[in-house]
Amino acid sequence: MNKKHYLKKSIIFIIICIVLISLDQITKYAAVNSLTDNTKVLIKNFLSLELVYNNGAAFGILQNQRVLFCIITIILCIIIEFIYIKLPYKGYIPLKAVTIGIFCGACGNLIDRMRTGYVVDFIAFDFGSYSFPRFNMADIYVTVSAFAAIFLLLFIYDDKKLSHILKGDRNGVWYIL
- Catalytic (active-site) positions: 121, 139
Nearest to 35 by CA among 48, 47, 54: 48
Give the span between the Cα atoms of 122 and 133, in whole angstroms.
Answer: 10
**DSSP symbol at 118:** S
Strands 47-54 and 119-127: antiparallel
Give the span between the Cα atoms of 30 and 25, in whole angstroms.
Answer: 9
First to last CA, the chain: 14
What count of Cα atoms within 13 Å lies in the side-chain half-sphere of residue 72? 9
